[in-house]
Structure 1
Amino acid sequence: MAESAIATDSDLVGALRALSNPMRLQLLMWLRDPARNFDLTGAIADPHDVGVCVSHIQAKVGLAQSTVSAYMAELQRAGLVRATRVGKWTHYKRDEARIAGLVAELGKAL
C-alpha cells in the first residue's frame, strides 16, 4: 500500500471515530450555521470568521465545560474543526475544506 494511501486511511479512520459519537456529530452539524444554532449573545468574536466560543457551545448542550472541550478537541484532532484563541476563550469553527476532502476520500474508498 502506498504511503499516501496509509495516511488517507488513517485520516478517514480518525474522522469516522470522531463522528461515531452522536454528540460530536451534532456539534459539527450545529457549527455549520452558528447564528441559527447558538445563542451568541455576548460573543466577543464573529462566529463565521473565528468560530463559536466553548461557553456558547456548553450553554447549548448543557454539559460540563471539560466534556465539551474534550469533544471539541477530538473533532480538532480529526481535522474537522479549527480552534482559535481569543483572549482566554477558545473558539471552534468547521474546517470546510478538510471536511469536503474527507467526504471525497470516503467516496473513493467505499
Structure 2
Amino acid sequence: MAETAPTPDPDLVSALRALSNPVRLQLLQWLREPERHFPMDQAIADPAEVGVCVSHIQARAGLAQSTVSAYMAELQRAGLVRATRVGKWTHYKRDEQRIAQFVAALGKTL
C-alpha cells in the first residue's frame, strides 16, 4: 500500500506563495529596517509602532499605488505583515512573531 504524503500546512503554502514574487519579497525586506529604506522625516506616524505608509512604499518601489496595495494585501493575507489605518492612510509593519513561526514551520517541513 502506497503511503500518502502529509498535506502541507495551508498557512505555510500561503506564505511561500506571497514570497514567491520578488517584489513582495523586497517589500518585506525593506520593512525589516524602515528607518533605512523610507523617509522618516515625512512619516505621519511612528514607523516602529504603526509601520510605513503605503504611499512611501509605493514611492520607493516605483510602482502604481494599486499594485503596491495588492502586493501588501497578499503579504497581509499570508500573515507576514499587519495593516493599521491612520486617518485615510494605511500603514504596514512586519509581523515578526508570525514570520518566526513561518521560518520554524519551514524548517520542520523541509
- TM-score scaled by length of structure 2: 0.92
* Aligned pairs (5 A) from 1:62-101: 62-101=62-101
Match of 2:31 in 1: 31
Deviation at 1:40, TM superposition (A): 2.9
Alpha-carbon distance in structure 2 between the residues aligned to 1:62 and 1:13: 28
Q: Which amino acid aligns with 1:95?
A: D
Give unmatched runs, 5+ long, in structure 1.
none
What is the alpha-carbon distance in structure 2 between the residues aligned to residue 87 and residue 54 of structure 1? 13
| Residue aligning to 2:3 | none
Computed over aligned residues only, the root mean square deviation of the Cα atoms, in angstroms, reads 1.2
1:47 has 2:42 as partner: no
Residue in structure 2 matched with residue 60 of structure 1 by the alignment: 60
| Cα distance, 1:41 vs structure 2 | 3.1
3-state SS of the aligned residue for 1:71? helix
Q: Does structure 2 retain, via aligned residues, the 8 Å contact 1:40–1:56? A: no
Q: Matches of 2:28 and 2:100 in 1, distance apart?
A: 13
Runs of 4+ in 1 over 4 A off after TM superposition: none
- Deviation of 1:55 after TM superposition, in Å, equals 0.5
| TM-score, normalization by structure 1 | 0.92
> Per-residue deviation at 1:39?
1.9
For structure 2, list consecutive stretches of 5 or more residues without a partner in the other structure. Answer: 1-5
Identity between Structure 1 and Structure 2 (%) = 78
Distance in 2 separating the partners of 1:81 and 1:93: 5
SS for the counterpart of 2:106 is helix
Larger radius of gyration: 2
The CA deviation string for residues 63-109 of structure 1, in whole angstroms up to 9 with x for no partner, is 00000000000000000000000000000000000000010011001
